A and B are shown apart, each in its own frame.
Chain A
C-alpha cells in the first residue's frame, strides 16, 4: 500500500484533480482515497476502469456467446447521459495456451486497441521490450513475465497461441513478442495484451465487435451515480441490461435481477451486464474477509481448547494451595479477595505470555518475510514482490492481548470461585 501512495504523491497528487494526470493515476486516486487494503490496490490498477459493460448473445443453438456485436447504441448512451468520462475502452479477451517450441503455458490475453489505449502502453511495467515497435510488428503481444519465464521466450520471438472461439472451436494464431511485463507486483492479476482486431479474428468476432466496454471516469466519486445513469438510460431505450451483482449484495429493488445467466434462459439480441469497480471489489473484499473469518474461527477454537487447559491448571493450583487458602480465610480474608488473588495471577500470566508471544511472533514474521515465494504462482495473491508482508498495528496487538487476557480470566474464574467459596475448616483440613 505504501509504495502506491508514494508513487501517487510524487507523480500526480490526486487531490489536485489534475486533468493532465494519466488514467492510471486516477485509478490510483481511488486507491488512495478509499484505502481499502493492500490486496485490492493491484487489482484496481489491473482492471483499469470504473464501469464495465459486458455483452452476451445466444447462438443459433442457444449457446451463450460473450459478444457486443453492435455497441453503437450503448456508446451513444455513455456519451448522451453526460458522464465525466476520461476514457472508454473496447476490449475482448481469450484464455489461451501459449506455445514456444516444446513448451506451453496458459495465458489470459486481453485484446486492446493500442491506438486508443496509449495510457496502457505507458503504464504497463516492462521487464524487457519496447512498445515503440508496435506499429512495425506483425501481431504484437506483450506477455506476462511468468509466462515468458516458463516458456523461455524473449522479445522478438514468435509464439503460437491455441485458443477457442466464442463458440468453442479450436483456433490457432501466431504472435510476435514485443514486450514482457513485470507481473511480480500484481498479486496474480495479470494478462497478456494483444491487438484487438487480431484477437477478434482468432476468437471468431468481426473487427468492429468486442466483448466488453470499460469506462474510466474523471472523478471516482461518480461511480455509482454514473452506473445508475447508464442503467436508466439503457432501460429507457429498450436495451436488455442488468446489474448482476447488485441483488447479491442486497441492493435496490427495481433493478433487473438475474444472478448469472443460465443456458436455460432465452433472449433476443444482446444482453448487457453492468458492473462497477465497487461491486467487483466487494467480491474481492468478501473473499478476503471470509479468509479472515475462517482464521478468526480457528483462533477462537484454539483459545477455547487452551481455556480448558488453563481451567485444569488452576484447579491443580487450587488443590496445591488449599491449606493456604484455608489459613487466609481463617484470618478473615473475604471470598472476594481470595477470588481476586487467583484472577490477578491468571491476568499477569496471560499478559506476560502475550508479551512473550508477540515478541516471538515478531521474530517469526521477520524470518518468514525474508523467504521468497515468487516461484509459487498460487501465492501471488498474498505476496508483494514475492514476499509475505505483515500488517501489524498497535490496535491489533492490544486487541489480541485483550482477548487472551479475557479468555484467561474466564478460564480461571471457575476454580477461583470454587476456592473463594471454600469453608476455612474444610480448607485447613486439606479437603477440596
Chain B
C-alpha cells in the first residue's frame, strides 16, 4: 500500500511538476525557428505600406511612405518610396544576395547593403526582409523576465557569421506566443547601438508580424524612427515586380 501511494505520488509529481513553471530548459533552436517562421512569408507573397516617421533632434521630423513587396521563398523584396515627393520613385530591390538602390533622378541602380539604413532613418533594409535568427545567431545566455505584462525570455545572441549587421543582439521573446517584443543591437565592441520595440502585431495570412515598430538610436539622444504598417496583403504578385525593369517603369 505504502509503495503504491509513493508510486502514485511520484507519478503525479512527474506529470504536474512541469506545470508549476519549473520547466526544462527551453529549446531555443526551436523557439528561434518558430520566431522566424511566424514572421516570414514562406508560401505567399506579401505587400504592405510602411509609414516611417523619423525624429532627429537636429533635422526635426521627417515622414517617408514606402510600399513594400516581399517574396521570402526566393529571398526577394522591393521597397518603393511614395513620399516625400522629392524621393518618390526611389527603390530598394533585393534579388538573392544582391541589393540595389534605384535613383529615379539619375535612372541608375547602385549596389547597396542590407546593413545600410533606409533614407537616413534608424531602420535598415534587413528590418524589412524575413527574420533569420535561427540561421544567423546562436544563443549565449538567457534569463526569464517580464516586459510590461508579458512573461518573456531575455535571450543573448551572438552572430555566427559576419553577414549580419549586428554582432550581438538581445531579444525579448514572449514565453507563450514566441513573439519578439524588443531587440537590442550591439556593436562589435558590445556597445548598445539601437533598440527596436514591437508594441503590436497583426496576423497576415499564416504569419504574425509587427504592424508597429519603434527604432531608437542609442548613440544620438532623441533620435528614433517609428514605423506603421497598413494595407497588408498576401495576394500573389507578378514575377516582374522583383525586376529592375518594373522599378524603372513605376518610378517614371
CA of A101 to CA of B56 in the docked complex: distance in angstroms?
Answer: 12
Segment of A163-171, A320-328, A366-374 engaged in the interface with chain B: A163-171
Give A276 to B226 CA distance when docked, in angstroms. 48
**Given A104-B220, A162-B219: A169 and B193 interface contact (C-beta under 8 Å):** no
Cβ-neighbour of B189 out of A59, A61, A103, A173 (below 8 A) = A173
Q: Is the contact region of chain B dominated by helix, strand, or loop, or is it mixed? A: loop
State whether B58 touches A168 (Cβ < 8 A): no
Min CB–CB distance A263 → chain B (angstroms) = 8
With a CB–CB cut-off of 8 A, which chain A residues contact B222?
102
In the bound complex, residues from chain A placing their C-beta under 8 Å from that of B219 are 99, 160, 162, 172
Task: Assess whether A76 is interfacial by the CB under 8 Å rule.
Answer: no
B166 touches A101 (CB 8 A): no
Q: Is the C-beta of A204 less than 8 angstroms from some C-beta in chain B?
A: yes
A204 touches B165 (CB 8 A): no
Nearest-CB residue, chain B, relative to A163: B187
Q: Select which of A59, A101, A167, A171 is within 8 A of B187 by beta carbon.
A: A171
Per-residue contact bits, chain B 172-193, to A (CB 8 Å; 1 contact, 0 not): 0000000000000101110101
Any A CB within 8 A of the CB of B162 = yes
Cβ contact within 8 Å between B113 and A169: no
Report B18-65 residues with CB < 8 Å from chain A CB: 57-58
A101 surroundings in chain B (CB, below 8 A): 221
Could you tell me if A169 and B221 are in contact, using CB atoms closer than 8 angstroms?
A: no
Q: Mark A151-184, 1 if CB is under 8 A from B, else 0.
A: 0000000001010110111111100000000000
In whole angstroms, how far apart are the Cα atoms of A169 and B162 in the complex?
7
- Chain B residues with CB under 8 Å of A171's CB are 167, 187-189
B76 at the interface (CB under 8 A from A): no
Cβ of A80 within 8 Å of any chain B Cβ, yes or no, is no
Which residues of chain A are near B167, meaning CB under 8 Å? 169-171
Complex: A101 Cα to B217 Cα, angstroms: 12
State whether A102 and B58 are in contact (beta carbons under 8 Å apart), knowing that A167-B162, A168-B113, A169-B164 are contacts in the complex: yes
Kindly report which residue of chain A lies nearest to residue B163, judged by CB atoms: A61
A104 — which chain B residues lie within 8 A by C-beta?
58, 220
Chain A residue nearest to B162 (CB atoms) is A167
Q: A60-B161, A102-B58 are in contact. Are A170 and B185 (CB under 8 A)?
A: yes
Residues facing A in B150-167 (CB within 8 A) are: 159, 161-167
Give A202 to B185 CA distance when docked, in angstroms: 17
Knowing A162-B193, A170-B185, A172-B189, the reply to whether A103 touches B165 (Cβ < 8 A) is no
Beta-carbon nearest neighbor of B97 in chain A: A263
Residues from 79 to 130 in A contacting B, C-beta threshold 8 Å: 99, 101-104
**Do the beta carbons of B193 and A170 come within 8 Å of each other?**
yes
User: When chains A and B are docked, how far (Å) is the Cα of A411 from the Cα of B191?
Assistant: 72
Nearest-CB residue, chain B, relative to A61: B163
In-complex Cβ contact of B162 among A59, A162, A173 (8 A): A59
Q: How far is the CA of A102 from the CA of B55 in the complex (A)?
A: 11
Residues 359-382 (chain A) with a chain B CB within 8 angstroms:
none
Contact B161 A170 (CB under 8 A): no
Shortest beta-carbon distance from B244 to chain A in Å: 17
Select one of A61, A160, A170 contacting B166, CB under 8 A: A170
- Within the complex, the shortest CB–CB distance from B25 to chain A, in Å, comes to 29
Whether B191 and A172, one on each chain, are in contact in the complex, defined by CB atoms closer than 8 angstroms, is yes
B94 at the interface (CB under 8 A from A): no
Chain A's closest residue to B114 (CB) is A168
Measured CB to CB, the closest approach of chain A to B176, in angstroms, equals: 32
Distance between B132 CB and nearest chain A CB, rounded to angstroms: 14
Partner of A172, one of B162, B163, B187, B223: B187
Point out the residues of chain B lying under 8 angstroms from A162, CB to CB: 193, 219
Please indicate the chain B residues that have their CB under 8 angstroms from the CB of A173 in the complex.
189
The 8 A CB mask of A174-205 against B (1 = contact, 0 = none) is: 00000000000000000000000000001010
Known contacts A101-B221, A102-B220, A168-B162; 12 further A-B pairs (Cβ under 8 A) = A60-B161, A61-B161, A99-B219, A99-B220, A102-B221, A103-B58, A104-B220, A162-B193, A162-B219, A169-B165, A170-B165, A172-B191
* Closest A-B pairs by Cβ, 6 of them: A167-B162, A102-B57, A172-B187, A171-B188, A172-B191, A171-B187
5 chain-A/chain-B pairs, Cβ below 8 angstroms: A99-B219, A162-B219, A170-B115, A170-B185, A172-B189
- Name B's A-contacting residues (CB within 8 A): 57-58, 113, 115, 159, 161-167, 185, 187-189, 191, 193, 219-223
